[in-house]
Amino acid sequence: MDNDLLHRAHGAHRGHFDPNAVQLSTLLSVKTGGCPEDCAYCPQAARYHTGVADEELLSVEQVAAAARLARENGATRFCMGAAWRGPKQRDLERVAEMIKAVRAEGLETCATLGLLKQGQAEQLKAAGLDYYNHNLDTAPEFYGEIITTRTQDDRLETLGRVRRAGIHVCCGGIVGMGETRRTRAALIAQLASLDPYPESVPVNNLVQVPGTPLAGTDRLDPLEFVRTIACARITMPRAMVRLSAGRQEMPEAVQALCFFAGANSIFYGEKLLTTGNPGVEADRALFAKLGLRSLK
């Protein structure tokens, strides 16, 4: 990684955002485990033995309480994730009530519920959903090595439905799955080529979970992760670029480089769906060291 890349990325970031402000999002699993898909990175897939139990959908009251706590801790966006191939109508109606409850707490709302059928995005929009997350995961040429139960075209179809419904798009991918640098570049290029590109771009560093096919994969060099963040910022200058999964294992100095390279959003709170995340106090201490503040 060279200083010219970092300089260009930081310039793009500074041209569109306050370089010392970071948006805080909290992610809650509202339906955990039992997913029929075969995503090789995911501990929630029913076919893998990872110790993640299949749980019922949370109640609206449970979600509202979690959102309230997230707001009190400083988060401005609350994301709800469900381990489904896609939501059934009865489930979607429950999620719509959750969205309304989270909005009542004064937070932006995001949901990741899998593939959406015709008309479902419009129902989420009517409930007040601000963002829908549906990641491309990896570049088209590597996609079949990671997932076989849905195609990337299926994902793009859902993203099109989200766009047409007037919901903001949150779409990114995962690195560190054994892909090449060219594959990482192709993922960023594909995201940037979406018209328009996503308003929110989560970049995940693989969290290796025993029992999943990707456990034991060679770990990505941390500076390759920083390079990916920089390329995302340069190619999608107005997007919120989020440090997502894998931050718990990431040294503070690497996180600092990511923020300099254009990352301006993090997941905030002790847990991401089923994997760990730095604690609130640890993030507050890191922000104090780096002179960063939360984006209101």
231 classed as catalytic: no
Residue of 77, 150, 155, 170 with catalytic role: 170
42 classed as catalytic: yes
Please give the single-letter amino acid code of residue 166. G
Residue of 79, 171, 231, 258 with catalytic role: 79
Closest CA relative to residue 86, chosen from 155, 147, 152: 155
35 classed as catalytic: yes
CA pair distance 22, 204, nearest whole angstrom: 17
Q: What is the dihedral of CA 144, 277, 6, 217, to 10 degrees?
A: -40
Q: Is 120 exposed, middle or buried (0-12, 13-18, 19+ CB in 10 A)?
A: buried
Tokens read off for 198: 């996503």
Please give the single-letter amino acid code of residue 185. A
CA pair distance 248, 266, nearest whole angstrom: 11
258 classed as catalytic: no
Residue of 94, 150, 171, 242 with catalytic role: 242
79 classed as catalytic: yes
Full DSSP string of 206-272: P---TTSTTTTPPPPPHHHHHHHHHHHHHHSTTSEEEE-TTGGGS-HHHHHHHHHTT--EEE-SSEE
HSE-CB at 260 with a 13 A cutoff on CA atoms is 15
Q: Which residues of 33-66 are buried (b: 16+ CB within 10 A; e: fewer)?
A: bebebbbbbbbbbeebebebeeeebbebeebbeb
Question: Do you know the residue count of the chain?
Answer: 296
Residues forming a β-bridge with 170? 133, 200
Residues with a catalytic annotation lie at: 35, 39, 42, 79, 110, 170, 242
